[in-house]
Amino acid sequence: MMPIVTTERPMPPLNADERETLESWLDFYRATLAVKCEGLTEEQLRTASVPPSPLTLLGLVRHMAEVERNWFRRVLVGEDAPPIYDPEADPNGHDGGFDLDDDARFGSARKTWEAEIERGREHAAARRLDQTSPFLGGQVTLRWIYTHMIAEYARHNGHADLIRERIDGVTGV
């Protein structure tokens, strides 16, 4: 049975400038993760359905909130933003969010993730694609961050697709 999809996931434009293309593809992949989570119960969202991996859809959403925070707040604008879910987690967001405690809930995780996305959009809107920020002893452009984020979402959406398929058979949404 196909879930009812309420998240809008518009196709990125086929003929746009570079910035609109990058932003549209990033938004497409953000929406894809949201769609992968729709129509599931809290228990299903917490289910690690692809053994031996402990990945869950809820953990992926929480992780992507950490990743958004890292790249658009810590790296892009140099903000001192602590980890969201685990004060001991890698401050670069590489590990944060995956582990679920008993209090972890999808509704609050999605709100946090969406708030980080909005904050990231605000920071990115104020910068040029070629504007740089310090990173790993060098400089990184907003263009590079967008490209990295598209790859990060695409990778994790593949994970989400497998997890979702094992939970209820839904694929390719």
Q: For residues 81-108, give the mean pLDDT.
A: 84
Q: For residues 18-31, give the mean pLDDT.
A: 97
Q: What is the maximum span of the chain, computed from C-alpha positions, in angstroms?
A: 50
- Write the CA distances from 60 to 53, 55, 80, 131, 133, integer angstroms: 12, 7, 23, 29, 27
- pLDDT for 9 beyond 90: no
Complete domains list, the chain, with CATH: 19-37+44-168 (1.20.120)
Q: What percent of the chain has pLDDT over 70?
A: 92
- Residue 131 CB-half CA count within 13 A: 11
Rounded CA separation 82/156 (Å): 23
pLDDT of 2 reads 46
Residue 143 banded pLDDT, cuts 50, 70, 90: very high
Which of 78-92, 104-118, 121-135, 150-164 shows the lowest mean pLDDT across its residues? 78-92
What is the overall mean pLDDT for the chain?
A: 92
DSSP letter, residue 80 = -
What is the number of other CB atoms lying within 10 angstroms of the CB of residue 44? Answer: 18
- What is the pTM assigned to this prediction? 0.92
- Higher pLDDT, residue 43 or 89: 43
pLDDT digits (tens, 9 = 90+) for 68-79: 999 999 999 999
> What is the token pair recorded at 108?
């609050």
